Chain A
Amino acid sequence: MSDSPVSVHNPNEGQPQDEGPSAAQQKQMEQAYAQMKRKMSMQEIGKKIKHKIMVLSGKGGVGKSTVSTGLALSLAQQGHKVGILDIDITGPNVPKMMGLDGKRLHVEGGRIHPAQGHLGVKVISMAFLLDDDDTPVVWRGPIKLGAIQQFIGDVEWGNLDYLVIDFPPGTSDEPLTVAQSLPDIDGMVIVTTPQDVALMDSRKSIGFAESLKVPVLGVVENMSGYTINGKSAPNSTVEIAGPGGKSISTQADDEGNFSVVVDIFKKGGGKNTAEEFSVPYLGALPFDPGFVRGGDDGVHRIVSEPEGHSAKAFSEVVAAIQEQIGASESSSLEII
């Protein structure tokens, strides 16, 4: 030992000095470095992706994934470069809807590469990590959040016009982690169904949006009305028994074609929530059993019927979202 008057506690006493950091220190430094690299890469990714949209709902099963994939496809139809990030760890179903069932994570050169689904939409899903589609991943909090950060920082999206992020239901940690990791999120789309319970939950999501400091782009009402098309005698009156015993009547045209919209749930809920909180109302998506088919054989309605009723409804919602994003971009407010 030296004859310095200062005694220094040295945890490596006995080991040769000047040999650089210990193995533990080395590991810590490597971790810090990886963390820093990831942070920089998140910033980088933030710049390469023009618009980032989160899709949330207070309640499960209201159609977030259906809406996320629909928005992504509708945007891709317009010619945009689009990605979709499926953050749902316990029930990721985006790959099924995008025709990518059974895909596994593709890692090359230390980077994660997205799979390409319908219309060239790039897809990253937690499902790509599963060995078996029927085994849900049960990850505890911190590991899950770390995985999400990794998913954001290590994915090679390339340049994108839009990234749609699909979340698990509820106002949990995931959106918070994403909002904190990914810079400049344009905002969130809140999916609701017309029922009262779902509405109450979407109120929660709007409050949650405020606490995340992410703007609410608006509310979409999903499963709004079901259109029944049929044939009857030309110019006859058709009567349909609607929900709650209410009868709906309509007139068949010269050729006997008729079409009725049946409101399966109460109508207008999304609009009411939007009005109550003065956030934009983005429109309604019809109840369409064809979306479900997309869930099974991997053909989304927008792909199989690009000119159909549902595809049109989606493109209207997309236009409303673009108006919100565009409006904030070209905001004429001068701040000094």
Chain B
Amino acid sequence: MAEIMPKLTRLERRKSDLLLTYESGDELSVEYVDLRHACPCAKCAPNRNEDQTSIDLRESVEKLANKKPKVVTIGNYALSFEWEDQGCSSGIYRFERIWALANNKDPDNGKPYVHGPW
């Protein structure tokens, strides 16, 4: 994973994942389930602090339909995803976060969640 995040130029919503194309030429994907498990909102995020609640969160996300979400750009720094099912749609994903997920890195850098938006 490059130290500096390249610019995301293309995002394709596929059946069960996002296909991301970066300016650097990297073509990476993020499963919808992984994306949703990593929701940065204040309600979901604290659940990842404990192993058991993190597993529960994962299971709850896996149960959802995970159909193609609507993608909304937030300013020029983040995206949010609107799911048509009952699951959480409130997380704002900074591009750095999406880049980390695409590279299978912990987007929270191993830090527990403390109240703050991202």
* A binding-site residues for B, Cβ under 8 Å: 187, 203, 206-207, 209-211, 213, 215-217, 276-280, 324, 327-328, 331-336
The reply to whether A216 and B75 form a contact with Cβ atoms under 8 Å apart is: yes
- Is B117 an interface residue, CB under 8 A from the partner? yes
* B binding-site residues for A, Cβ under 8 Å: 7-13, 41-42, 71-78, 80, 90, 92, 94, 96, 115-118
Residue of B nearest to A186 (CB): B75
| Residue from the list B42, B71, B73, B80 in contact with A207, Cβ < 8 A | B42
Chain A contacts of B77 at CB under 8 A? Answer: 215, 278-280
The reply to whether A332 and B12 form a contact with Cβ atoms under 8 Å apart is: no
The reply to whether B75 and A217 form a contact with Cβ atoms under 8 Å apart is: yes
Cα–Cα distance between A187 and B72 once the two chains are bound (Å): 14
Cα–Cα distance between A242 and B28 once the two chains are bound (Å): 54
The reply to whether A332 and B9 form a contact with Cβ atoms under 8 Å apart is: yes
Residue of B nearest to A187 (CB): B75
| Residue from the list A209, A279, A280, A335 in contact with B11, Cβ < 8 A | A335
Chain B contacts of A277 at CB under 8 A? Answer: 116-118
Chain B contacts of A217 at CB under 8 A? Answer: 75
The reply to whether B117 and A328 form a contact with Cβ atoms under 8 Å apart is: no
Chain B contacts of A203 at CB under 8 A? Answer: 116
The reply to whether A333 and B10 form a contact with Cβ atoms under 8 Å apart is: yes
Chain B contacts of A213 at CB under 8 A? Answer: 72, 74, 80, 90, 92
The reply to whether B116 and A336 form a contact with Cβ atoms under 8 Å apart is: no
Sample (20) of A-B pairs whose CB atoms are under 8 Å apart: A207-B116, A209-B117, A210-B42, A210-B118, A213-B72, A213-B90, A215-B74, A216-B75, A277-B118, A278-B77, A278-B94, A278-B96, A324-B75, A331-B73, A333-B73, A334-B10, A334-B11, A335-B73, A336-B10, A336-B12
Cα–Cα distance between A279 and B96 once the two chains are bound (Å): 12
Q: How far is the CB of A222 from chain B (nearest CB, A)?
A: 21
The reply to whether B118 and A278 form a contact with Cβ atoms under 8 Å apart is: yes
Cα–Cα distance between A213 and B116 once the two chains are bound (Å): 15
Q: How far is the CB of B62 from chain A (nearest CB, A)?
A: 25
Cα–Cα distance between A335 and B90 once the two chains are bound (Å): 19
The reply to whether A324 and B90 form a contact with Cβ atoms under 8 Å apart is: no
Cα–Cα distance between A207 and B90 once the two chains are bound (Å): 12
Q: Lowest 3 CB-CB distances: which A-B pairs, in order?
A: A215-B75, A327-B76, A210-B117
Cα–Cα distance between A203 and B92 once the two chains are bound (Å): 16
| Residue from the list A206, A328, A336 in contact with B76, Cβ < 8 A | A328
Chain A contacts of B76 at CB under 8 A? Answer: 324, 327-328, 331
Chain B contacts of A331 at CB under 8 A? Answer: 73, 76
Cα–Cα distance between A335 and B79 once the two chains are bound (Å): 11
Cα–Cα distance between A187 and B92 once the two chains are bound (Å): 14
Q: How far is the CB of B106 from chain A (nearest CB, A)?
A: 17
Cα–Cα distance between A256 and B64 once the two chains are bound (Å): 73
Query: Known contacts A277-B117, A336-B11: does B92 contact A210 (CB below 8 Å)?
Result: yes
Cα–Cα distance between A333 and B94 once the two chains are bound (Å): 14
Query: Known contacts A211-B90, A213-B80: does B117 contact A333 (CB below 8 Å)?
Result: no
Cα–Cα distance between A215 and B92 once the two chains are bound (Å): 9
The reply to whether B115 and A207 form a contact with Cβ atoms under 8 Å apart is: yes
Q: How far is the CB of A192 from chain B (nearest CB, A)?
A: 15
